[in-house]
């Protein structure tokens, strides 16, 4: 009771102190119709639309956001990437109880950062059904780059099926949506290329595992959208030739990674996950689900440029346009060939680990299969020989079929290229390491951490003031974008104090990736794979941060009481 | 002066790239001084302009210079990264950037310092030296330098930082030559 | 018997609802593996193999209905109702327990059932069931999907029934197996929701079961052309 009073008093004091620097915002969570040009469907949106509005905050502002639930089920809003008191984080069952139909919940928190972020429902399947929007936070200080214009680019993967149906279908038949499976004709083609025996041996190897090399996107059949528009609907952003334009890319997709390029333009990456990075000019970059990248482009010609995003498995693409005038549409590039996973992605490749640093290394050649048997790497099925010309990227397994290459130009952004503009924390050795094996059962569509799904797992307990080193070991064949709420994820790229500060860390199959977290936010937080159906089927943990300064603890206890 | 020499460097590598005219300008600024101007005589200096280098922009963001004027620049790196102040044409800057890239690849140019051991190693193995370029100053964080520059009457000049990514992020300013 | 079923249902309901705080959604689905018209044999017939399930990752309750309705004489030749509970026992296999209640034209039969359901290496979908009663038997079903394209799918299937005791009332002789093989070519018309197919179906009885059939003047085998619809919802 006392705590509750103190918390209230604290809030009141905060409100008084902030004065003019408080912004009030209203959001409604609404049933909406989504029109992708190829299909229309029911969905969930904010303020009557999907994607929802772009919320523009100022660093240092105390925001008050009234969220009204116009749905007939519980809802919630999570402010993705924002550092805030945990009760404001918007995860039902962890931060709070959620928002009941017809109710209005008021979020209050200070804005302590700047950059590009997003918000979305954290209630089952509302985000895949369309409940997402962008957040742009203007910094207090001048930014370490220069631009005359900006556009927010929200990527989504709208699917004709509603989320709960997709989940049901995947559970019933995990390859329900996979229309890239190898056919008899593919076998004939392989036999011609590599010989009948090798082709057969390859099929038998994959068949033994009951896994598929084409299993890159487990949800296909979606229409990718940029700012809610498909290729035909052509979202267009205006520029004046010679201007520097800041493009704020946000991947709000439920399940889809995209490779993004603007043919004819170099993109200079200046922010990753809202944090400034030392600028990197690239020809193309891959954006994991829930990541954000800000790039600067400088079109000099008076013509339309395509912003082209291909899904990683090349099952779908979307083109938007940057144009000097309204009404222009850039050409649509052809999609490239889909990638095939290799035995390296299954964690089974032999040999070449050269060039790997300690921070991102391939799993050992001996791989424990999900059924407990052990399988030795099968050299004859390692496709790395075929794709040998591909450059090494330490964040993919050696010989991986997923290593991206630029369609035009040469430079494809790697995590290794990301360096923090300014270290956020003093660099120090981690106080302890926590291993998180990313695990799953493809056939049952159960995703888990350390073999245990969320519903059966104990929370991860952290102590305030620790610097924890998380070791992700991806034992599955899928790529998992891991997202820790409430605290920054410092991705270990081997660059010490320059390691980039992120909120999503993508872990490719067959790799081990480390991130470190300064445990500086008391309370209870979510930690999960951001692929919607992986999170909902169990690749999820609650993190409890214990201890902390009395002031912060009081706020925590007060909120728990109230 | 040793200190000055070490911090105020232009990193120039001939390589095959030197075949392009723009490259040749950047490499051998002195020989083509007419195009972009030339190192100035201290006695002829008409004024002093302070250039503060931040991450990743200049203060001031553009310059207005009289045709044929000789200006003393006092350049301070107030940022937390290595920055360059270089006077040249856009094309010359563009030609200069791949060399800077190479410096990064060889570990010579770290985000916040110049690695002299790596520089020596690179010089020894590749046979390309680093030498002062009169039109450029490359400064570690916290360092300062001076540069006296005599501007031509007509030129399309920019002052820019060619540390990889910095120019592309907008660390470049126009030099307007006024009558 | 019914008491036991109720107890089972009650236990299942308890397991389904008593999830931890982070409860996952209750899963359900309906599949018509076969829903077809067969032309051939001594009579054209309607045949189906349909199941519906509800449950979680840990426990699925499945109702399966399998039957044949002969046009000639309008006879419900075969009608099986399986009430199955499936529990995962390995990555790819579930243990199955339950009851099978046959209520065709003629005598009814009730069996307890225990079996395995899952995916064998090389993508063979396998059901192996022991039916336990006064008329025990074993059944093995194997199915494979060969992709001609990603939508045009050829499905060979095999079903093998082995009775351990005589059940002369329904023309079954001990150790006289019945085999069914099928080959169906389907096209996924709407997602995997509706996939019409055409195919062939052949069945044959052996041993003592064949002798019983012959004694009644029936064929010991039958060949059908089939047209049908696979559905998943």
Per-residue DSSP letters for A104-137?
A: EEEEEEE----EEEEEE--STTTTTTT-EEEEEE
pLDDT band, very low/low/confident/very high, at A391 (cuts 50, 70, 90)? low
A181 vs C contacts (CB less than 8 Å):
147, 150
CB A545 within 8 A of CB A523: yes
Q: How far apart are the C-alpha atoms of C192 and C118, rounded to whole Å?
A: 20
Pairwise CB contact (< 8 Å): A144 & B111:
no
Q: How far apart are the C-alpha atoms of A442 and A210, rounded to whole Å?
A: 9
Percent of chain A exceeding pLDDT 90 equals 85
What is the tens place of the pLDDT at every residue in A403-456?
Answer: 999 999 899 999 999 999 999 999 999 999 999 999 999 999 999 999 999 999
Cα angle A462, A434, A467 (rounded to 5 degrees) comes to 55
Among A182-186, A258-262, A504-508, B99-103, which stretch is predicted with the lowest mean pLDDT?
Answer: B99-103
Size of interface A-C (CB pairs under 8 A): 81
Pick A279's closest partner by Cβ from B54, B56, B61.
Answer: B56
Segment holding A69, helix H or strand E? strand A62-69
Chains that touch A (3 or more CB pairs under 8 A): B, C
What mean pLDDT is predicted for residues A525-536?
97
**Strand runs (DSSP E) across A273-395, as ranges?**
275-282, 284-287, 292-297, 305-311, 317-323, 360-362, 367-368, 374-375
- Chain C residues with CB under 8 Å of a chain A CB are 19-25, 27-29, 31, 53, 57, 88, 90-92, 119, 121-123, 146-151, 191-192, 232
A494 vs B contacts (CB less than 8 Å):
none
- Chain B residues with CB under 8 Å of a chain A CB are 54-57, 61, 80-81, 111, 164-166, 168-171
Chains C and B touch (3+ CB pairs under 8 A): no
CB C9 within 8 A of CB C17: no
A204 vs C contacts (CB less than 8 Å):
122
User: Best mutation site among C95, C147, C195, C232 for testing chain A: the one with the most A CBs within 10 Å?
Assistant: C147
Q: How far apart are the C-alpha atoms of A527 and A524, rounded to whole Å?
A: 10
What is the tens place of the pLDDT at every residue in A473-500?
Answer: 999 999 999 999 999 999 999 999 999 9
SS3 A99: strand
Pick C149's closest partner by Cβ from A164, A183, A371.
Answer: A183
Write phi, then psi, for A517 (nearest 5 degrees): -130, 125
- CA of A496: which chain B residue's CA is closest? B111
Question: Is residue A362's pLDDT more than 70?
Answer: no
Shortest Cα–Cα distance, A466 to chain C (Å): 27
Residue B74 in domain: yes
Q: Does A324 touch chain B (CB under 8 A)?
A: no
Q: Does A300 touch chain B (CB under 8 A)?
A: no
Residue B143 in domain: yes
User: Tell me, what's the pLDDT at A174?
Assistant: 94
Pairwise CB contact (< 8 Å): B111 & A419:
yes
Q: How far apart are the C-alpha atoms of A315 and A217, rounded to whole Å?
A: 8
Residue B30 in domain: no
Question: Is residue C128's pLDDT more than 70?
Answer: yes
What mean pLDDT is predicted for residues A78-86?
98
Residue B150 in domain: yes
What mean pLDDT is predicted for residues A100-107?
98
**Helices A550-561 and A2-18: crossing angle, nearest 10°?**
110
Q: Give the end-to-end CA distance of chain A in Å, rounded to a whole number.
A: 9
Nearest to A301 by CA among A281, A322, A271: A322
The alpha carbons of chain A give a radius of gyration, in whole angstroms, of 23
Q: Alpha carbon of A468 to those of A428, A491, A515, A520, A556: distances in Å?
A: 11, 12, 8, 11, 21
SS3 C43: coil
Residue B124 CB-half CA count within 13 A: 6
The domain that holds B112 is classified in CATH as 2.60.40.420
Structural domain harbouring B137: 2-21+37-178
Cα angle A389, A394, A398 (rounded to 5 degrees) comes to 50
The alpha carbons of chain B give a radius of gyration, in whole angstroms, of 15
- CA of A459: which chain C residue's CA is closest? C22
Among the residues of A430-493, which ranges form H helices? none
Pairwise CB contact (< 8 Å): A210 & C123:
yes
Q: How far apart are the C-alpha atoms of B88 and B36, rounded to whole Å?
A: 6
User: Tell me, what's the pLDDT at B125?
Assistant: 81
pLDDT band, very low/low/confident/very high, at A82 (cuts 50, 70, 90)? very high
What is the tens place of the pLDDT at every residue in A498-514?
Answer: 999 999 999 999 999 99
Write phi, then psi, for C81 (nearest 5 degrees): -120, 110
What is the tens place of the pLDDT at every residue in A195-236?
Answer: 999 999 999 999 999 999 999 999 999 999 999 999 999 999
- CA of A94: which chain C residue's CA is closest? C22
**Strand runs (DSSP E) across A298-452, as ranges?**
305-311, 317-323, 360-362, 367-368, 374-375, 432-441, 446-449
Pairwise CB contact (< 8 Å): C92 & A180:
no
- What are the respective helix, strand and coil percentages of chain A, to the nearest 5? 15, 35, 50
Question: Is residue A245's pLDDT more than 60?
Answer: yes
Residue B27 in domain: no
Q: How far apart are the C-alpha atoms of C70 and C171, rounded to whole Å?
A: 17
SS3 C6: helix
Q: How far apart are the C-alpha atoms of A71 and B89, rounded to whole Å?
A: 59
Pairwise CB contact (< 8 Å): A146 & B81:
no
Pairwise CB contact (< 8 Å): A279 & B80:
no
Q: Alpha carbon of A138 to those of A60, A117, A132, B169: distances in Å?
A: 10, 11, 20, 17
What is the distance of C-alpha A317 from the center of its chain? 18
Segment holding A4, helix H or strand E? helix A2-18
Q: Is the preceding peptide bond at A222 cis, omega within 30 degrees of 0?
A: no
Pairwise CB contact (< 8 Å): B169 & A266:
no
Question: Is residue A388's pLDDT more than 50?
Answer: no
Residue B164 in domain: yes
Pairwise CB contact (< 8 Å): A184 & C123:
no
- CA of A267: which chain B residue's CA is closest? B168
Write phi, then psi, for A158 (nearest 5 degrees): -70, 130
What is the tens place of the pLDDT at every residue in C7-38?
Answer: 555 555 554 444 333 457 789 999 999 999 99
ipTM of the complex: 0.91
What mean pLDDT is predicted for residues A293-302?
97
Q: Alpha carbon of A216 to those of A349, A477, C72, C83, C169: distances in Å?
A: 18, 8, 51, 36, 54
What mean pLDDT is predicted for residues C50-79?
96
Size of interface A-B (CB pairs under 8 A): 48
SS3 B90: helix
Residue B84 in domain: yes
Among A135-144, A371-380, A396-405, C112-121, which stretch is predicted with the lowest mean pLDDT?
Answer: A371-380
Burial of A353 (C-beta count, 10 Å sphere; 0-12/13-18/19+): middle
Q: Please identify among residues 136-165 of chain A the ones whose CB lies closer than 8 Å to any CB of chain B.
A: 142, 144-147
Shortest Cα–Cα distance, B1 to chain A (Å): 30
Pairwise CB contact (< 8 Å): C147 & A182:
yes
How many domains does chain B fold into? 1
Threshold 0.80, pTM exceeds: yes
Pairwise CB contact (< 8 Å): A296 & B169:
yes
Pairwise CB contact (< 8 Å): A244 & B81:
no
SS3 A369: coil
Shortest Cα–Cα distance, B120 to chain A (Å): 22
pLDDT band, very low/low/confident/very high, at B130 (cuts 50, 70, 90)? low
User: Tell me, what's the pLDDT at B126?
Assistant: 77
Chains that touch C (3 or more CB pairs under 8 A): A
Q: How far apart are the C-alpha atoms of A537 and A456, rounded to whole Å?
A: 12
Pairwise CB contact (< 8 Å): A244 & B171:
no
Q: How far apart are the C-alpha atoms of A27 and A100, rounded to whole Å?
A: 15
SS3 B122: helix
Q: How far apart are the C-alpha atoms of A253 and A530, rounded to whole Å?
A: 9
Residue B28 in domain: no
The overall average pLDDT reported for chain A is: 89
What is the distance of C-alpha A255 from the center of its chain? 9
User: Tell me, what's the pLDDT at B121?
Assistant: 86
User: Tell me, what's the pLDDT at B14?
Assistant: 33
User: Tell me, what's the pLDDT at A349?
Assistant: 52
What is the tens place of the pLDDT at every residue in B35-82?
Answer: 899 999 999 999 999 999 999 999 999 999 999 999 999 999 999 999
Pairwise CB contact (< 8 Å): A454 & C22:
yes
Q: How far apart are the C-alpha atoms of A533 and A548, rounded to whole Å?
A: 34
Q: Which residues contact B2 (CB under 8 A, 6 or more apart)?
A: none
The neighbour count for residue A70, using CB atoms within 10 Å, is: 14
Sign of CA dihedral C96, C99, C105, C107: positive
Residue A350 CB-half CA count within 13 A: 9
Residue B78 CB-half CA count within 13 A: 13
What mean pLDDT is predicted for residues B128-149?
87
> What is C82-140 written as a DSSP string?
EEEEEEE-SSSEEEEEEEEEE--SS--EEEEEEEEEEEETTTEEEEEEEEESSS-EEEE
B81 vs A contacts (CB less than 8 Å):
278, 421
């Amino acid at each position: 009771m006392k705590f509750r009073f103190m918390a209230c008093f604290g809030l009141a004091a905060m409100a008084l102190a902030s004065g003019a620097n408080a912004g009030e915002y209203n959001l409604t969570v609404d049933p909406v119709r989504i029109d992708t040009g190829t299909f229309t469907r029911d969905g969930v949106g904010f303020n009557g639309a999907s994607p929802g509005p772009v919320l523009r905050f100022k660093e240092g502002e105390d925001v008050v956001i009234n969220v009204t639930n116009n749905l007939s089920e519980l809802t919630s809003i999570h402010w993705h990437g924002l550092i805030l008191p945990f009760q404001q984080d918007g995860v039902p069952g962890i931060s709070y109880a959620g928002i009941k139909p017809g109710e209005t919940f008021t979020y209050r928190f200070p804005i302590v950062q700047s950059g590009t972020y997003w918000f979305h429902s954290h209630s089952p399947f509302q985000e895949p059904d369309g409940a997402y929007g962008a957040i742009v936070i203007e910094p207090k200080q001048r930014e370490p780059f220069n631009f005359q214009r900006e556009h927010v680019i929200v990527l989504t993967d709208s699917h004709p099926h509603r989320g709960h149906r997709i989940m049901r279908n995947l559970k019933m038949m995990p390859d329900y949506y996979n229309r890239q499976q190898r056919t008899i004709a593919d076998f004939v083609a392989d036999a011609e290329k590599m010989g009948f025996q090798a082709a057969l041996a390859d099929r038998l190897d994959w068949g033994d595992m009951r896994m598929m090399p084409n299993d890159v996107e487990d949800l296909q059949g979606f229409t990718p959208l940029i700012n809610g528009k498909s290729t035909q609907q052509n979202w267009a952003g205006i520029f004046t030739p010679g201007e520097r334009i800041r493009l704020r890319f946000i991947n709000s997709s439920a399940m889809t990674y995209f490779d993004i390029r603007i043919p004819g333009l170099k993109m200079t990456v200046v922010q990753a996950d809202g944090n400034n990075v030392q600028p990197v000019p690239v020809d193309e970059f891959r954006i994991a689900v829930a990541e954000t990248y800000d790039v600067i482009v400088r079109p000099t010609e008076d013509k339309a440029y395509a912003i082209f995003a291909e899904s990683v498995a090349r099952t779908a693409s979307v083109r938007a346009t940057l144009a000097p005038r309204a009404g222009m549409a850039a050409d649509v590039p052809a999609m490239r060939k889909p990638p095939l996973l290799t035995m390296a992605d299954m964690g089974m490749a032999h040999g070449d680990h050269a060039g790997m640093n300690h921070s991102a290394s391939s799993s050992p050649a001996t791989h424990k299969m999900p059924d407990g048997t052990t399988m030795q790497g099968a050299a004859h099925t390692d496709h790395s020989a075929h794709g040998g010309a591909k450059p090494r990227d330490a964040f993919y397994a050696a010989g991986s079929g997923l290593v991206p290459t630029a369609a035009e130009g040469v430079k494809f952004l790697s995590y290794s290229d990301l360096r923090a503009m300014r270290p956020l924390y003093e660099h120090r050795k981690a106080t302890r390491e926590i291993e998180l094996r990313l695990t799953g059962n493809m056939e049952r569509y159960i995703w888990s951490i350390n073999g245990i799904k969320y519903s059966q797992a104990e929370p991860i307990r952290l102590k305030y003031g620790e610097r924890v080193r998380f070791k992700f070991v991806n034992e599955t064949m899928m790529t998992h974008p891991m997202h820790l709420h409430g605290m920054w994820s410092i991705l270990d790229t081997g660059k010490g104090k320059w390691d980039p500060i992120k909120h999503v860390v993508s872990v490719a199959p067959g790799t081990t990736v480390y991130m470190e977290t300064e445990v500086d936010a008391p309370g209870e937080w979510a930690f999960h794979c951001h692929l919607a159906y992986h999170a909902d089927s169990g690749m999820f943990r609650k993190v409890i941060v214990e201890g902390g300064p009395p002031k912060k603890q009081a706020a925590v206890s007060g909120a728990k009481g109230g | 002066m040793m200190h000055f020499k070490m911090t105020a460097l232009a990193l120039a590598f001939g390589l095959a790239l030197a075949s392009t005219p723009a490259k040749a300008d950047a490499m051998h600024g002195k020989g083509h001084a007419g195009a972009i101007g030339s190192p100035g005589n201290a006695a002829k200096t008409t004024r002093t302009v302070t250039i503060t280098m931040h991450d990743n922009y200049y203060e001031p963001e553009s310059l207005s210079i009289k045709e044929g004027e000789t200006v003393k620049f006092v350049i301070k790196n107030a940022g937390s990264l290595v920055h360059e102040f270089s006077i040249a044409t856009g094309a010359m800057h563009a030609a200069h950037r791949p060399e800077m890239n190479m410096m990064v690849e060889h570990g010579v140019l770290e985000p916040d310092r110049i690695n002299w051991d790596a520089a020596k190693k690179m010089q020894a193995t590749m046979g390309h030296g680093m030498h002062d370029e009169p039109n450029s100053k490359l400064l570690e964080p916290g360092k300062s330098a001076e540069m006296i520059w005599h501007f031509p009457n007509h030129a399309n000049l920019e002052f820019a930082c060619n540390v990889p990514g910095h120019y592309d992020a907008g660390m470049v300013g126009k030099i307007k030559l006024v009558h | 018997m019914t008491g036991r079923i109720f107890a089972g249902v009650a236990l299942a309901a308890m397991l389904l609802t008593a999830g931890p705080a982070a409860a996952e959604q209750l899963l359900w689905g309906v599949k018509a593996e076969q829903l077809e018209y067969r032309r051939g044999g001594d009579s054209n017939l309607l045949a189906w193999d349909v199941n519906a399930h509800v449950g979680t990752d840990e426990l699925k309750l499945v109702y399966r209905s399998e039957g044949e309705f002969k046009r000639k004489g309008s006879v419900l030749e075969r009608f099986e109702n399986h009430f199955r509970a499936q529990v995962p026992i390995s990555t790819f296999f579930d243990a199955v327990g339950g009851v099978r209640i046959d209520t065709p034209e003629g005598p009814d039969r009730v069996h307890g059932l225990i079996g395995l359901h899952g995916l064998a290496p090389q993508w063979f979908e396998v059901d192996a069931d022991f039916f336990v009663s006064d008329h025990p038997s074993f059944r093995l079903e194997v199915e494979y999907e060969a992709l001609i394209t990603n939508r045009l799918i050829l499905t060979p299937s095999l079903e093998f029934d082995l009775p351990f005791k005589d059940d002369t009332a329904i023309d079954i002789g001990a150790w006289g197996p019945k085999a069914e093989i099928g080959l169906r070519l389907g096209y996924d018309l709407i997602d995997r929701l509706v996939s019409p197919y055409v195919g062939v179906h052949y069945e044959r009885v052996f041993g003592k079961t064949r002798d019983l059939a012959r004694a009644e003047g029936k064929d010991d085998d039958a060949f059908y052309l089939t047209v049908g619809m696979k559905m998943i919802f």
